[in-house]
Chain A
Amino acid sequence: MLDEKQEMLKKISAVDFSIHDINLFLDSHPQNIKAIELLNSYRKERSDLINDYEQKYGDYITHVGDVKAKVPWSWIDGPWPWEGDE
């Protein structure tokens, strides 16, 4: 079972994946209006989700988090992505 934090991360990953896949599609279809609109709506959703996540848990997904950094530097806190839950 996923807890609330993992659930949020999963949502961010899903939106991020959509953005990435539309990005690839746009590389070969740069004039596609529908894909551009879809991309913009996912981008907005992503930035809201990441903002909520970083505000709530105080740890970063990206180096360029919007949250004010605090001592100690939480970027190094585990688990790291390849470690699963351990």
Chain B
Amino acid sequence: MWQYDKRLQYPIKIKNANPKYAQIIISQYGGPDGELGASLRYLTQRYGMPYNEVKGMLTDIGTEELAHMEMICAMVHQLTRNLKEDEIKGTPFENYFVDHTLSVYPVAASSTPWTATYIQSKGDILADLHEDLAAEQKARVTYDNLIRLIDDPDILEPLKFLREREIVHYQRFGEALRLTTDRLDSKNFYAFNPNFDKCKRK
């Protein structure tokens, strides 16, 4: 189960509305490397995991990603909530506005709605951990790109916080991969282990 804490993991207080920034930041909500996909990826992969360390890590990081999703939505909300018609006309936010007015909906910056095809739960610890490591790096690059395009300290500070969290999560998943390879069959030189296959013949 989960419980809600009535606060953000890192404060978001944006003074100046900006539809252009909202339209790119929203990618970290509903985009291919966004926080929605991150939380669902980790929380879903837990069921196929053989080791307690990794079950714990996926639970705790997956939970943190939910808090990151809330931060990203808070940014989009604060950047758009007071916009007037003439501030929207002619901006890249215009098309989004037609479909969602000033509400928050999970889409990529390139406007594709979020899809479960962004994530995988393969049921093999090595395959899944490699996906997780790649996901953290891709999210970090997305934050790098956003930081390049944005010039408002109210937005940059929380984005830098989120970027650092991707780096920490990558580190933890790296440790999970090391714990896993340490436990591979000693006769097995390759990064796979037949014992991980739970679906054996009778």
Q: A residues within 8 Å of B by Cβ?
A: 9-10, 12-13, 16-17, 20-21, 23-25, 27-30, 60-64, 75, 80-86
Contacts and interface: CB of A to CB of B under 8 A. Distances in A.
Nearest to A26: B56
Contacts of B187: none
Contacts of B74: 81-84
A21 B6 contact: no
B13 interface: yes
Interface residues of B, number: 30
A9 B175 CA distance: 33
Given A28-B175, A30-B53, A17 B9 contact: yes
B6 A80 contact: yes
Query: SS class of chain A's interface: helix, strand, loop or mixed?
Result: helix
Given A13-B11, A62-B6, A81-B6, A24 B70 contact: no
Central interface residue in B6, B11, B56, B168, by most chain A CB within 10 Å: B6
Interface stretch (B57-65, B120-128, B130-138): B57-65
A63 B172 CA distance: 30
Contacts of B53: 27-28, 30
B9 A75 contact: no
Nearest to A82: B74
A82 B73 contact: yes
Interface string B1-29: 00111111111111000000000000000
Contact of B5 (A24, A29, A30, A62): A62
